[in-house]
Amino acid sequence: MLQFHKKLLGFVIEFNVSLNKKKNRDEVFISYLRKMISRMEKNTCLYKGKNYASNSIANYRKILRIWPDFEESMGVRSIRFSEIDMDVYSAFLEFCDTNNYMDSTKYQYASLIKAIMNSALEDGCSRNNIQNSKGFVTHRQSSIFRRVYLTREEIAALAGLDLKGNRAMEKVRDVFLVGCYTGQRFSDYSSMCIDEIETIDIEGTEFKALRKVQRKTGRTVVIPILDDGLLDIIQRWGGRLPKVSISDLNVRIKTLCRMAGVKGEISIPCSRAGSSSRIKKQKYELVSSHTARRSYITNLYMEGRLSTEQIRSISGHSSEDSFKRYLCHNLEDEAKEIIKRYMRGK
């Protein structure tokens, strides 16, 4: 009998160790998702006691398809559940913006990621519960995030920061400024090099321009170099910009903008489950990689020297509607510009 109890105790201990190992697993997000979809298709993964519908499975496959591109945009591979924090989540939302996903699509994807993480948590393949925190927003927020841009003065203050001795911050600042000077998406402005710069002759006068094939669309755009700061930055880094991940930029650029004196409190309407509230943020907290593109487009538009068609030919927007989503002006800004132009004309 004693021998039997020893064997039974050994079995229980071995079972508990095995169970704890399973509970403490930290799987790779995309590997788990593949297995999850496979179980859905075999009807061994249920949702509220029912099999997943084919259109639901198709939506999860969309996450499976875009996740490697998202990882590439961050400069990482095989993200584990434990590595998904608010910075990674914010980078994913920014990735959706960069690729011009509609807000409805972006937050649908966010909801799916939350569901995947909850499933992994329940299966013992993750211990990360950040998806259930207040900041992990999976519903549409106010478009005020898209109205944040840097003025010419704020961009100049950012360019003027003395960052000697802080190479990491200098890299991020310079890459972001190139976005402010060119109006391109992060995937394009972060990879610019001196080989893309050419000389254009206009009535005997030479001007510099940058010819770029956009990664997302394959469209070629020619960007007139209107600020010498662009050439200075590219030359300072030996003709090719340093590698910076979108996640690193999104974290550091907020600190850099605070250092540059980017100020202003912004009240953001936010609705959840039928109730509404407002969140107060400092302007610098809302700056991200996509702010560079918005700043370029909005500043050119507000200055009134180029038509929307001309700005679109530089930014590469194929439609007026998609272009307008990048304009961060409001009625008050319009009124100010009208007054300025009127005063200049007197």
Three-state SS string across 53-97, please? CHHHHHHHHHHHHHHHHHHHHHCCCCCEHHHCCHHHHHHHHHHHH
C-alpha span between 17 and 283 (Å, rounded) = 50
At residue 159, the pLDDT reads 96
Query: Does residue 275 surpass a pLDDT of 70?
Result: no
Domains and CATH numbers, the chain: 22-139 (1.10.150), 147-345 (1.10.443.10)
Name the helix (H) or strand (E) containing 212. Answer: strand 205-213
- Write out pLDDT tens, residues 73-114: 777 788 999 889 877 887 888 788 777 788 788 889 999 999
pLDDT digits (tens, 9 = 90+) for 114-130: 999 999 999 999 999 98
Nearest Cα neighbor of 115 from 33, 28, 25, 23 is: 33
The letter for the amino acid at 261 is: G
The H or E element spanning position 216 is none
pLDDT digits (tens, 9 = 90+) for 140-176: 554 445 568 999 999 999 999 999 999 999 999 999 9
Interval 315-334 mean pLDDT = 67
What is the rounded distance in angstroms from the CA atom of residue 271 to the CA atom of residue 287?
Answer: 21
Q: What percent of the chain has pLDDT over 90?
A: 37
Between residues 19 and 176, the one the model is more confident about:
176
pLDDT score at 193 = 92
Across the range 251-255, mean pLDDT stands at 93
Q: At what angle do helices 246-259 and 167-182 cross, to 10 degrees?
A: 90
Contact 241, 234 (CB under 8 A): yes
Instruction: Give the integer Cα–Cα distance in Å for 275 and 231.
Output: 49
Whole-number CA gyration radius for the chain: 25
Q: What values do phi and psi take at 206, rounded to 5? A: -90, 135
Mean pLDDT calculated for residue range 35-58: 83
Q: How far apart are CA 64 and CA 229, in angstroms?
A: 40
